[in-house]
Amino acid sequence: MKFLKYPLLAVCAVLMATNAAWAQRQAHDPTKTGVLRIGFIPAEDSRAMVRQSQAILDVVAKETGMKIETFVGSDYNATIEAFRSGHVDVGLLGPFSYVLATTQAPVEAFAVTVVARTMQPSYQSIIIAKKDSGIDSLEKLKGRTFAFVDPGSTSGSMVPSAAFVKAGISPQKDFKQVMYSGGHDATIVAVGSGKVDAGAVADRIYERGCAKGLADCNTLKVVWTSPPIPNDPLLYRKSLPDDLKKKIRDAFAKVQNLPFGEMGTVARFDPATDKDYDPIREIASVLKLDLTKMK
């Protein structure tokens, strides 16, 4: 059940602040309400993400003895803002959005997803294009239209942007047009339909999108693949009581081979700490991003 839905926000080159009303309300206290609020970034359709996560949410509800409510932000920053304002207790963020969240909210990672497809706590960013587009390298993207996912997306924006910097490519100067689709699935559709010439997405979401028929992937190809990226972290607010944090950690540790949002089937959750995401901070340094100002 979604307890709140933000209105659609305009996507911009940097993350913007969302509805100030969040900050004016009292932070949620799960120990008083008996409700644990779990937040997601909108990597795919919000209703589908919640539906695909229901089995894991049921495990968490059973193990913690709490009712579960879910929140999917209208964009990545809306979910970060929900943490900052204390209206989400636990969440699944992308690696970059997690790093952003740590600069804006008192949160900490406690686990990392291990997907069943690879049995690794990592994934990759890919750039896709039509097979007949003539695009077979980053250099060939010049003069073309390109879709990122969201400024806060790791695989859909940050990692490919760092690759462009290293290749001496400026999307704003070298591409005909740059757009932000708002979701990995939307980028797959945009490339498949010819709305854009190429786009960056997470490899795991691309595979699932092809299986779901979001595009005729027989007409598409992968033209670039990134090095491994740390998988999405689970995090909670630091202000939660220690005994509740333990219940949450123990609950997610019970999960085995269940679907979880855009992650697909999660084999398990391994313990994680904030330091595991320092490689993402290093990429931000390559991009010369001031994370404290990305609001």
pLDDT confidence of residue 22 = 37
**Which of helix, strand or coil describes residue 136?**
coil
Residues 6+ apart with CB under 8 A from 258: 55, 56, 59, 265, 266
Domain tally, the chain: 2
Bridge partners, 40 (sequence order)? 72, 92
* Side chain identity at residue 155, one-letter code: S
Q: For residue 253, what are the domain limits?
A: 21-119+231-293
Separation of alpha carbons 24 and 71, rounded Å: 18
pLDDT confidence of residue 16 = 38
Distances (CA, A) of 247 to 234, 241, 254: 14, 10, 11
For each successive 10 residues of the chain (295 residues), what is the average pLDDT?
35 36 65 96 82 94 97 92 95 93 95 91 95 97 97 93 95 97 96 98 93 96 95 95 98 94 86 94 89 71
Q: Phi and psi dihedrals of 74, rounded to 5?
A: -70, -25
In this structure, is residue 1 part of a structural domain? no
Asked whether residue 140 falls in the same domain as residue 186, the answer is yes
Residues 6+ apart with CB under 8 A from 178: 145, 146, 147, 148, 171, 172
Asked whether residue 112 falls in the same domain as residue 155, the answer is no
pLDDT confidence of residue 47 = 86
pLDDT confidence of residue 295 = 61
Q: Where are the alpha helices (DSSP H) in 111-237?
A: 159-166, 171-174, 184-193, 203-212
CA nearest neighbour of 44 among 212, 159, 196:
212
Q: Of 225, 240, 270, which residue constitutes the final position of a domain?
A: 225
Q: Of 225, 260, 277, which residue constitutes the final position of a domain?
A: 225
Asked whether residue 51 falls in the same domain as residue 196, the answer is no
Q: Of 203, 225, 247, which residue constitutes the final position of a domain?
A: 225
CATH assignment of the domain containing 145:
3.40.190.10
In this structure, is residue 175 part of a structural domain? yes
pLDDT confidence of residue 25 = 54
pTM of the entire predicted model:
0.77
